[in-house]
Amino acid sequence: MASFQEYKRRGFLPMIGVVLAFYFLLVYLHLCRTASDLDVPLQKSWVKLATALGNTNALALDFVYVTNQLQETRQALAAISSARQNLIKQMELPPPLRDRVHAPFELFEYQNKLSQQLDSLDVRAKQQKVAIDPAVFAGFPEHSFTVQDPALLWAALAFTESLLDTALDARVLSIHSLFVVVGTTNATNADVGRWVEIPLELELSASANSAARFVESLPLRQLAAAEPPPGANTSTNSPVPVSTPKVPLLIDSFIIRKQAPEAPDTVRLWVRVVGFVHRS
Protein backbone atom coordinates (compact mmCIF):
# COMPACT_ATOMS: atom_id res chain seq x y z
CA MET A 1 0.00 0.00 0.00
CA ALA A 2 1.37 3.43 -1.10
CA SER A 3 2.57 5.73 1.61
CA PHE A 4 1.26 9.19 2.27
CA GLN A 5 4.36 10.76 0.72
CA GLU A 6 3.77 8.79 -2.48
CA TYR A 7 0.18 10.03 -2.69
CA LYS A 8 1.38 13.55 -2.07
CA ARG A 9 3.97 13.29 -4.87
CA ARG A 10 1.43 11.88 -7.29
CA GLY A 11 -0.95 14.75 -6.53
CA PHE A 12 1.76 17.40 -6.95
CA LEU A 13 2.91 16.28 -10.43
CA PRO A 14 -0.41 17.09 -12.15
CA MET A 15 -0.34 20.52 -10.55
CA ILE A 16 3.14 21.13 -12.01
CA GLY A 17 1.82 20.07 -15.41
CA VAL A 18 -1.09 22.50 -15.12
CA VAL A 19 1.24 25.33 -14.09
CA LEU A 20 3.55 24.58 -17.03
CA ALA A 21 0.58 24.51 -19.40
CA PHE A 22 -0.62 27.90 -18.13
CA TYR A 23 2.94 29.25 -18.46
CA PHE A 24 3.14 27.97 -22.03
CA LEU A 25 -0.22 29.49 -22.97
CA LEU A 26 0.03 32.77 -21.12
CA VAL A 27 3.77 33.57 -21.16
CA TYR A 28 5.74 31.56 -23.71
CA LEU A 29 3.28 31.97 -26.59
CA HIS A 30 3.00 35.69 -25.81
CA LEU A 31 6.80 36.01 -25.88
CA CYS A 32 6.92 34.12 -29.17
CA ARG A 33 4.35 36.44 -30.76
CA THR A 34 6.22 39.49 -29.42
CA ALA A 35 9.54 38.19 -30.78
CA SER A 36 7.90 37.45 -34.13
CA ASP A 37 6.47 40.98 -34.28
CA LEU A 38 9.91 42.40 -33.49
CA ASP A 39 11.37 40.38 -36.38
CA VAL A 40 9.04 42.04 -38.92
CA PRO A 41 10.88 45.39 -39.20
CA LEU A 42 14.19 43.51 -39.13
CA GLN A 43 13.09 41.30 -42.00
CA LYS A 44 11.86 44.34 -43.96
CA SER A 45 15.16 46.12 -43.38
CA TRP A 46 17.04 42.99 -44.44
CA VAL A 47 15.04 42.70 -47.66
CA LYS A 48 15.45 46.42 -48.34
CA LEU A 49 19.21 46.27 -47.78
CA ALA A 50 19.58 43.12 -49.89
CA THR A 51 17.54 44.73 -52.69
CA ALA A 52 19.70 47.85 -52.56
CA LEU A 53 22.77 45.64 -52.91
CA GLY A 54 21.18 43.80 -55.85
CA ASN A 55 20.98 40.46 -54.02
CA THR A 56 17.35 39.91 -53.06
CA ASN A 57 17.73 36.21 -52.23
CA ALA A 58 20.79 36.60 -50.04
CA LEU A 59 20.92 34.49 -46.89
CA ALA A 60 23.97 36.39 -45.67
CA LEU A 61 25.27 39.87 -46.41
CA ASP A 62 28.83 41.16 -46.57
CA PHE A 63 28.64 43.89 -43.96
CA VAL A 64 32.28 44.85 -44.52
CA TYR A 65 31.36 45.70 -48.10
CA VAL A 66 28.27 47.57 -46.90
CA THR A 67 30.38 49.56 -44.43
CA ASN A 68 32.86 50.49 -47.16
CA GLN A 69 30.03 51.54 -49.46
CA LEU A 70 28.53 53.66 -46.70
CA GLN A 71 31.89 55.35 -46.13
CA GLU A 72 32.25 56.06 -49.85
CA THR A 73 28.72 57.46 -49.95
CA ARG A 74 29.48 59.79 -47.06
CA GLN A 75 32.62 60.98 -48.82
CA ALA A 76 30.65 61.58 -52.01
CA LEU A 77 28.02 63.57 -50.09
CA ALA A 78 30.77 65.64 -48.50
CA ALA A 79 32.25 66.32 -51.94
CA ILE A 80 28.82 67.35 -53.27
CA SER A 81 28.31 69.66 -50.30
CA SER A 82 31.74 71.22 -50.86
CA ALA A 83 31.03 71.67 -54.57
CA ARG A 84 27.67 73.25 -53.74
CA GLN A 85 29.31 75.75 -51.40
CA ASN A 86 31.94 76.58 -54.03
CA LEU A 87 29.22 77.05 -56.65
CA ILE A 88 27.26 79.36 -54.36
CA LYS A 89 30.44 81.34 -53.74
CA GLN A 90 31.05 81.63 -57.47
CA MET A 91 27.45 82.64 -58.24
CA GLU A 92 27.17 85.26 -55.50
CA LEU A 93 27.03 88.83 -56.71
CA PRO A 94 29.98 91.10 -55.87
CA PRO A 95 29.44 92.84 -52.49
CA PRO A 96 28.72 96.35 -53.89
CA LEU A 97 26.14 94.98 -56.31
CA ARG A 98 24.64 92.73 -53.63
CA ASP A 99 24.22 95.74 -51.35
CA ARG A 100 22.40 97.62 -54.10
CA VAL A 101 20.05 94.73 -54.79
CA HIS A 102 19.11 94.47 -51.11
CA ALA A 103 18.82 98.21 -50.52
CA PRO A 104 15.67 100.28 -51.25
CA PHE A 105 15.40 100.93 -54.98
CA GLU A 106 16.06 104.47 -56.21
CA LEU A 107 14.75 104.97 -59.75
CA PHE A 108 16.71 108.20 -60.39
CA GLU A 109 19.98 106.54 -59.41
CA TYR A 110 19.21 103.56 -61.61
CA GLN A 111 18.34 105.73 -64.61
CA ASN A 112 21.68 107.55 -64.28
CA LYS A 113 23.56 104.24 -64.17
CA LEU A 114 21.61 102.93 -67.16
CA SER A 115 22.45 106.06 -69.17
CA GLN A 116 26.13 105.65 -68.30
CA GLN A 117 26.05 102.03 -69.44
CA LEU A 118 24.48 102.94 -72.77
CA ASP A 119 27.05 105.66 -73.40
CA SER A 120 29.92 103.38 -72.38
CA LEU A 121 28.71 100.62 -74.71
CA ASP A 122 28.47 103.04 -77.63
CA VAL A 123 31.98 104.44 -77.05
CA ARG A 124 33.63 101.07 -76.53
CA ALA A 125 31.90 99.49 -79.53
CA LYS A 126 33.16 102.29 -81.78
CA GLN A 127 36.68 101.92 -80.40
CA GLN A 128 36.69 98.21 -81.13
CA LYS A 129 34.80 98.65 -84.42
CA VAL A 130 31.91 96.43 -83.36
CA ALA A 131 28.58 97.26 -84.99
CA ILE A 132 25.73 97.65 -82.49
CA ASP A 133 22.16 97.57 -83.81
CA PRO A 134 19.58 99.92 -82.21
CA ALA A 135 17.67 96.90 -80.87
CA VAL A 136 20.56 96.26 -78.48
CA PHE A 137 20.27 99.68 -76.81
CA ALA A 138 16.49 99.24 -76.64
CA GLY A 139 16.90 95.85 -74.97
CA PHE A 140 18.57 97.11 -71.79
CA PRO A 141 16.50 96.42 -68.62
CA GLU A 142 14.29 99.41 -67.86
CA HIS A 143 11.90 100.13 -65.04
CA SER A 144 8.19 99.60 -65.78
CA PHE A 145 4.98 98.76 -63.95
CA THR A 146 5.44 95.07 -64.83
CA VAL A 147 8.60 94.84 -62.72
CA GLN A 148 7.28 93.97 -59.28
CA ASP A 149 10.72 93.78 -57.65
CA PRO A 150 12.65 96.73 -59.12
CA ALA A 151 15.75 96.05 -57.01
CA LEU A 152 16.46 93.16 -59.36
CA LEU A 153 17.04 95.71 -62.12
CA TRP A 154 20.48 96.37 -60.62
CA ALA A 155 21.42 92.71 -61.06
CA ALA A 156 19.88 92.61 -64.54
CA LEU A 157 21.91 95.66 -65.56
CA ALA A 158 25.10 94.08 -64.22
CA PHE A 159 24.34 90.84 -66.10
CA THR A 160 23.71 92.83 -69.28
CA GLU A 161 26.98 94.69 -68.88
CA SER A 162 28.84 91.43 -68.27
CA LEU A 163 27.21 89.78 -71.31
CA LEU A 164 28.03 92.64 -73.68
CA ASP A 165 31.53 93.15 -72.27
CA THR A 166 32.23 89.47 -72.86
CA ALA A 167 31.06 89.84 -76.46
CA LEU A 168 33.26 92.91 -77.00
CA ASP A 169 36.26 91.25 -75.35
CA ALA A 170 35.80 88.31 -77.72
CA ARG A 171 36.02 90.76 -80.65
CA VAL A 172 32.71 89.87 -82.28
CA LEU A 173 31.81 91.60 -85.54
CA SER A 174 28.36 92.92 -84.65
CA ILE A 175 25.63 92.60 -82.01
CA HIS A 176 22.09 92.48 -83.40
CA SER A 177 19.64 92.16 -80.52
CA LEU A 178 19.32 92.00 -76.75
CA PHE A 179 16.41 90.87 -74.61
CA VAL A 180 16.38 90.82 -70.79
CA VAL A 181 13.57 89.47 -68.60
CA VAL A 182 13.34 90.80 -65.03
CA GLY A 183 11.02 89.14 -62.49
CA THR A 184 7.39 90.17 -62.88
CA THR A 185 6.05 88.61 -59.67
CA ASN A 186 5.99 90.00 -56.16
CA ALA A 187 8.64 88.80 -53.72
CA THR A 188 7.24 86.79 -50.80
CA ASN A 189 8.63 85.36 -47.59
CA ALA A 190 8.84 82.01 -49.36
CA ASP A 191 11.37 83.51 -51.77
CA VAL A 192 13.89 84.17 -49.00
CA GLY A 193 16.90 81.89 -49.40
CA ARG A 194 16.05 81.05 -53.02
CA TRP A 195 17.82 81.88 -56.26
CA VAL A 196 16.00 84.16 -58.68
CA GLU A 197 16.70 83.65 -62.38
CA ILE A 198 17.20 86.55 -64.77
CA PRO A 199 17.38 85.28 -68.37
CA LEU A 200 19.08 87.25 -71.14
CA GLU A 201 19.07 86.64 -74.89
CA LEU A 202 21.68 87.95 -77.30
CA GLU A 203 22.17 87.64 -81.06
CA LEU A 204 25.48 88.46 -82.70
CA SER A 205 27.77 87.81 -85.66
CA ALA A 206 31.40 86.83 -85.22
CA SER A 207 34.23 84.75 -86.56
CA ALA A 208 34.17 81.12 -85.49
CA ASN A 209 37.08 81.67 -83.09
CA SER A 210 35.48 84.75 -81.54
CA ALA A 211 32.15 82.96 -81.12
CA ALA A 212 33.91 80.05 -79.39
CA ARG A 213 35.79 82.45 -77.10
CA PHE A 214 32.55 84.23 -76.24
CA VAL A 215 30.67 81.03 -75.36
CA GLU A 216 33.58 79.64 -73.32
CA SER A 217 33.98 82.88 -71.34
CA LEU A 218 30.35 83.38 -70.30
CA PRO A 219 30.32 81.11 -67.19
CA LEU A 220 33.61 82.51 -65.86
CA ARG A 221 33.67 85.03 -63.06
CA GLN A 222 36.89 86.49 -64.38
CA LEU A 223 38.52 86.08 -67.75
CA ALA A 224 42.08 85.05 -66.99
CA ALA A 225 44.93 86.50 -69.02
CA ALA A 226 46.38 83.59 -70.95
CA GLU A 227 47.87 82.68 -74.29
CA PRO A 228 45.45 81.85 -77.13
CA PRO A 229 44.80 78.09 -77.52
CA PRO A 230 46.90 76.20 -80.07
CA GLY A 231 45.68 76.81 -83.59
CA ALA A 232 43.73 79.93 -82.66
CA ASN A 233 43.66 82.75 -85.20
CA THR A 234 45.92 85.58 -84.05
CA SER A 235 44.53 88.11 -86.52
CA THR A 236 42.82 91.35 -85.50
CA ASN A 237 39.46 89.62 -85.08
CA SER A 238 40.78 86.82 -82.89
CA PRO A 239 39.86 86.67 -79.19
CA VAL A 240 42.11 88.74 -76.97
CA PRO A 241 42.78 87.51 -73.40
CA VAL A 242 41.52 90.01 -70.86
CA SER A 243 41.28 90.22 -67.08
CA THR A 244 38.08 92.15 -66.58
CA PRO A 245 36.08 91.13 -63.48
CA LYS A 246 32.58 89.98 -64.39
CA VAL A 247 29.63 88.11 -62.96
CA PRO A 248 29.18 84.56 -64.29
CA LEU A 249 26.32 83.72 -66.64
CA LEU A 250 25.22 80.14 -67.20
CA ILE A 251 24.33 79.11 -70.76
CA ASP A 252 20.78 77.82 -71.09
CA SER A 253 20.81 77.26 -74.87
CA PHE A 254 22.39 78.58 -78.03
CA ILE A 255 22.08 78.25 -81.80
CA ILE A 256 24.97 78.83 -84.17
CA ARG A 257 24.95 78.77 -87.96
CA LYS A 258 27.05 79.99 -90.84
CA GLN A 259 26.36 83.55 -91.87
CA ALA A 260 26.70 83.07 -95.64
CA PRO A 261 28.32 80.63 -98.09
CA GLU A 262 30.77 83.28 -99.26
CA ALA A 263 31.95 83.86 -95.64
CA PRO A 264 32.48 80.35 -94.18
CA ASP A 265 34.40 81.64 -91.17
CA THR A 266 31.64 84.03 -90.10
CA VAL A 267 28.82 82.67 -87.95
CA ARG A 268 25.63 84.02 -86.46
CA LEU A 269 25.06 83.11 -82.82
CA TRP A 270 21.90 83.28 -80.76
CA VAL A 271 22.42 82.53 -77.07
CA ARG A 272 20.19 82.45 -74.00
CA VAL A 273 22.01 82.80 -70.68
CA VAL A 274 20.82 83.03 -67.08
CA GLY A 275 22.11 85.09 -64.19
CA PHE A 276 21.15 84.27 -60.62
CA VAL A 277 20.34 86.50 -57.63
CA HIS A 278 20.23 84.99 -54.13
CA ARG A 279 17.45 86.34 -51.94
CA SER A 280 18.47 86.71 -48.30
The type of residue at 82 is S
Domains of the chain: 4-88 (no CATH), 95-278 (3.30.70.60)
Q: What are the pLDDT digits (tens) for 149-160?
A: 888 999 999 999
What is the pTM (predicted TM-score) of this model?
A: 0.65
Q: How far apart are CA 247 and CA 47, in angstroms?
A: 50
Contact 162, 154 (CB under 8 A): no
Give percent above pLDDT 90 in the chain.
32
Give residue 13's pLDDT.
62
111-122: string of b/e by CB count within 10 Å (b at 16+)? eebbeebeeebe
Give percent above pLDDT 70 in the chain.
71
- Out of 40-44, 92-96, 169-173, 274-278, pick the least confident: 40-44
Q: Of the candidates 179, 210, 183, 208, which has an alpha carbon nearest to the alpha carbon of residue 272?
A: 179
Q: How far apart are CA 36 and CA 58, in angstroms?
A: 20
Q: How far apart are CA 170 and CA 224, in angstroms?
A: 13
Query: Average pLDDT of 232-257?
Result: 62
Q: How far apart are CA 135 and CA 9, in angstroms?
A: 114
Q: Of the candidates 233, 192, 74, 98, which has an alpha carbon nearest to the alpha carbon of residue 152?
A: 98
- Out of 38-42, 110-114, 165-169, pick the least confident: 38-42
The pLDDT of residue 233 is above 80: no
